[in-house]
Amino acid sequence: MIATLAGGCFWCTEAIFKRLKGVDSTVPGYAGGSVENPTYELVCSGTTGHAEAIQIEFNPKIISFEKLLYVFFKLHDPTTLNQQGGDVGTQYRSAIFYHNDTQKQQALDSKNKIEKSGAYKDKIVTEIVPFSNFYEAENYHKDYFDNNRSQSYCQIVIDPKIQKLSKEFGTMIQESPAK
């Protein structure tokens, strides 16, 4: 099955989701915009409508879409509009691009459950919208964290998220990350 999620910088979301058991592959890219075959520079301009997203191929017998959404809501701030930390712009928005009616309903239920739990004091602004397109990012964005661990962004921003993942979801982590 396929899931398409946007939770800020795709370097972060890819690094997290590729470590979950049942995730077969993750691909960073651009989703939800109106420009065909956008580049990173064009998406960063804020004029394409695209969000930095990842497309996840997963085995629902091992990890459910609901579990992916649970991790998604826990490992980024779904209450900040068009921003995650220092990354600001519509390309960093929080979004779930559902592929079918079941995913849509599960996304709505998950968002409502998280809102009612009181986990966040502010309102969740995550968009739940139909999947329309996905364009793979340039090769240098793929496996960015694993290929650039000494880079300061990886150490300051991504590494703490990986540590949080390990602490909160240790039993869900696979020995070697997905491709």
pLDDT in tens, 140-155: 999 999 999 999 999 9
Residue 151, pLDDT score: 94
Cβ-proximal residues to 17 (8 Å cutoff; 6+ apart), any chain: 5, 23, 26, 54, 56, 68, 71, 178
Q: Which position among 9, 12, 44, 154 bears the catalytic label?
A: 9
Strand partners, 98: 130
Distance CA 6, CA 93 (A): 7
| Confidence category of residue 85, pLDDT binned at 50, 70, 90 | confident
3-state class of 124 per DSSP? coil
Distance CA 110, CA 27 (A): 23
pTM summary value: 0.94
Give the tokens for residue 164: 């949080």
Residue 1, pLDDT score: 97
Burial 65-76 (b: 16+ CB within 10 A, else e): bebbbbbbbbbb
Residue 3, pLDDT score: 98
Give me the sign of the Cα torsion angle 10, 28, 134, 19: negative
Strands (E), the chain: 2-7, 23-31, 51-58, 83-84, 87-88, 94-98, 127-130, 134-136
3-state class of 55 per DSSP? strand
Residue 169, pLDDT score: 82
Residue 40, pLDDT score: 96
Cβ-proximal residues to 63 (8 Å cutoff; 6+ apart), any chain: 20, 21, 22, 23, 172
Is residue 12 among the annotated active site residues? no
Using the predicted structure, report yes or no on whether residue 107 has a pLDDT greater than 90: yes
